[in-house]
Amino acid sequence: MDEAEQRVRRTIEEYHMLDPGDRVIAAVSGGADSVCLLTLLCGMKKDWDLKLMAVHVHHGLRGQEADRDADFVRALCEELEVTCHIIKVDVRKYASENGMSEEEAGRYLRYEALEREARWWEDSDGCGGEDWDCDGGRQRRDGEGRDCDGGRQRRDGEGRDCDSGRQRCGGETGDCRNKRVKIAVAHHSDDQAETILHNLFRGSGLGGLKGISYVRGRIIRPLLDIGRRDIVEWLEENGCAWVQDSTNSSGHYTRNRIRSNLLPLIEAEVNQGAAGNILRMGKLASQADEYLRAQGECWIKGHVVRDGPEHFLIPCDLLQAEPEIIRAYVVMELLKRLAGSARDLGLIHVQQVLALAGRPVGKEVDLPYSLMARREYREISVGRSILQEKDKEVCLPQVRMCVFPYKKGSQFPKNMYTKWFDCDRIEGTPVVRTRRPGDYITLADGSHKALKRFMIDEKIPRQLRDQVPLLTDGSHVMWIIGYRISEFYKIGPDTTKVLQAEAGGRRKE
């Protein structure tokens, strides 16, 4: 057993990734990393009594090259005698419909497909066979490679085709219905270093600096302690082929630029061991994050009052007496509990809430997930937007937002309901709502004008003023939808990033 394989086995054991008899789905793109992962898992199959399945997600983006990758994975799995599912998704369509980048949409659809396959396997009557295949339409092939007309191909314990029921496995593998299916993905230590740097540059806290988790739910990452160079050397020494995804060398994606340009430059000009130091820092950040999170949860339990199912009261004086880092963890934990996710929450939102401790009573900030924080007499209240009750009966437009780099000379949208804003001038989280006391807009001369006065001057009828939809940055109105945008947020010579906001059909709040 060579060094790379020994390290992978140590990682699996250290983080308790596998147990004897586990069912494992390997995410296989056909690239070097995933081929190494699948081949190593096949080598461990007997020792761990593993039941393996490979899933390849065809993103529908690279034409014949993507088809080539799918064919390669199918052939590899036939050679290794591993079940193979080819799942087709439309990344470009999903990204367009949901205002996401193709990179983000691809990641979401990839994990969704893997999770769906895992749930199906868990819901099936057994462990899954080793000789069937599917694409986006779930086309099946039998042991001879023949297409099946419909449904999932079935085999009984003797290997015979079954006409109905879920796929079953025979007596040699036993009943594994009670074992949770695990999903193995091929992130390695270079990916870890890139992720830590990427999160650092995005303004992440310690939670982001710990990088990719070794185990997250059913997801396991056995290759996280070996690097890309180790993987390629192992494949070459073992005579394994792989395919190269052309997008991996594209400068279009941020992670590719970090991988191809930034990290090599740092190692050449700053420290040859930079990647290893980044990984060590990530492990320290993970330990610190775990400890501080526990401290924050303990403080919440002792001091925070729950004032309804979606509303917390934080005592200002007691919070201010704590170290700044504990204050930040307290607020972040409360926001995550209310939101049910940490995806769109960042340090900027924590800082906005903490800043309320030094502001007058009644000051408030809008937060992601329709949350709001407000300064009360002795507390900071955090919860669902308390002062938006009047908005609930107003049909507000759906506003899709996306961010992209600004190229000088780019043509502005001519559509009245699509506007561009200088992203770097936005201080908080843009929110669609109706007017509130204190709202204002910036005019061409740089002066502020109260929204109420603007509506009077524009001769908007009094009975309609509370129904005009706004895109706001706190009390600063970015866009009076259907009228005008604030001069403050307009694209200028120093603009580097654009927030595009497109107002569509109306929704009830």
Q: Are residues 92 and 143 in the same domain?
A: yes
Domain containing 336 — which CATH number?
3.30.465.60
What is the reported pLDDT for 155?
33
Among 365, 384, 403, the domain-final residue is 384
Residue 425 has what pLDDT? 92
Whether 34 and 180 share a structural domain: yes
At 393 the pLDDT is 55
Residue 268 lies in a domain: no
Question: Can you give the pLDDT at residue 241?
Answer: 93
Same domain membership, residue 420 and residue 399? yes
| Binding-site annotation, residues | 29-34
* Domain shared by 369 and 406, yes or no: no
pLDDT score at 180: 85
b/e for 436-472, b at 16 or more Cβ within 10 A?
A: beebbbbeeeeeeeebeebbeeeebeeeebebbbbbb
Binding residue ranges for ATP: 29-34
CA-closest candidate to residue 165, choices 150, 152, 149: 152
What is the rounded distance in angstroms from the CA atom of residue 18 to the CA atom of residue 325?
36
Total domain count for the chain?
Answer: 3
On whether residue 265 sits in a domain, the answer given is no
State the 10-residue block means of pLDDT for the chain, 509 residues long.
89 94 95 95 92 93 88 95 93 84 87 94 61 36 33 33 32 50 94 89 80 93 93 94 70 71 87 89 91 95 86 93 95 91 81 91 84 88 64 71 86 83 89 87 91 86 80 92 91 90 65
Q: What is the model's pLDDT at position 199?
A: 84
Of the three residues 359, 384, 409, the one that is the final residue of a domain is: 384
Same-domain status, 413 and 478: yes
For residues 468 and 375, membership in a common domain is answered with no
Q: Which of 361, 384, 407 is the last residue of a domain?
A: 384
Predicted TM-score of the model (pTM): 0.62
In a domain, 196, yes or no: no
Q: What CATH number does the domain containing 493 carry?
A: 3.50.40.10
Q: Find the helix packing angle between 324-339 and 347-355, rounded to 10°.
A: 110
Q: Supply the range of the domain harboring residue 496.
A: 395-508
Q: Considering the domain boundaries, does residue 266 fall inside one? A: no
Could you tell me if 32 and 181 lie in one domain?
yes
206 Cβ neighbours under 8 A, 6+ residues apart: 285, 288, 289, 292
**Is the same domain home to 352 and 485?**
no
